[in-house]
Amino acid sequence: MSKYLDSFAILLGREPAKPVGEQISPPAQAIHEMKRMNKVDFDALKEHARAHRAKGLPWRNRRWTFLVAINLLFVVSFWFDIQILEGALTASRLLGFHMIDINSALQVMLAHKHIINNLIIGTGTVIVLWLIFGGRTFCSWVCPYHFVAEFAEMLHLKLVEKKVVTDHTFHRGVRTLLWSAFAAMAWLTGYTVFETLSPTGILSRALIYGPGLALGWVAMLLLFEIFYSRRGWCRYVCPIGLTYGLVGVFSPVRIKYDLNHCFHEGDCRKVCEVPHVLEIVKKGRAADVIMDTGADCTRCGACVDVCPSGALKFDVKGLSKLM
């Protein structure tokens, strides 16, 4: 249970702590000691990296294909009236099954100050879905803002490399404070303030029903991320990510880390949207031989794509033991 509480705390903004003493399992201690004594075989590392790069970025390509397909299905269903996936990401109906975004439902119920039965039914479906697949999987595999923000991130990194801009970070606890602030505003004003500002909802509705002035707000967010703070909205502001992270704490789908196979070269942390979940890949930071990346991980697969030794892989808890 302690690892789940730790995952909760890190999701809410606490920095990952380095395990000490009895917090590190004996098998992990033995591997850490062996790695301290033995030098890294950099020739083997380079060979692993070359072979891995030759495979391309399969998880990113799968994720982009799925994300685009889901969002286009909304568009096709609306414009051709085929009633497969109706509505938008905030509230939809898939083949007759109602699905309502958890954060949106919470905002509406706070604004109305009572529990709405229809929202409970639609939210229940979504909670079960993301409880299985990992809450923040929604962010990287479904959210349209995440998709466009990835291209803004690429541009930001190029500008940083050329020293045109510098990256500015914030304490991750700001996201928790803003989550509380948006909830309080809904309760006090009777209006779903966050839904007006959410780039996820704005882009989803713009794709389906046509563009509007709200896209100007999305453009401002992207410019902020390009010129000031890498993935600023997703990392430090968006309450959707926090809500889905809380739902996915106990998810069986995870990114599994194997200490035995890790070279600790750090490429995974460079590409990770939430690099604090990969503190465990640093030398001496893994408390056990096999670990997962926690509730704040978006399961995007970027780390899996770049890991040259296969130390990071997608996994379903319990299933690998049966195979």
* pLDDT, tens only, 118-132: 778 888 888 988 899
pLDDT at 214 over 90: yes
Mean of all residue pLDDT scores within the chain: 90
The per-residue pLDDT for 322 is 45
CA angle 218, 224, 227 (to 5 degrees): 135
Which of 65, 63, 82, 67 lies closest to 203, judged by CA? 67
CA-nearest of 304, 301, 297 to 277 is: 297
Q: What is the pLDDT of residues 153-178, one digit of tens each?
A: 999 999 999 999 999 999 999 999 99
Select the more confidently predicted residue: 42 or 116: 116
DSSP state of 231: T
Is-contact 297 254, C-beta < 8 A? yes
> Which stretches of 43-201 are assigned E, i.e. beta strand?
85-88, 91-94, 97-100
Distance CA 136, CA 131 (A): 10
How does pLDDT run across 92-121, given as a tens digit for each residue? 888 777 888 999 989 989 998 887 777 788
Coil vs helix vs strand at 107: helix
The whole model's pTM is what? 0.91
Rounded average pLDDT over 183-206: 95
Residue 169 sits at the vertex; the CA angle it makes with 165 and 173, to the nearest 5 degrees, is 160
Strand partners, 87: 92
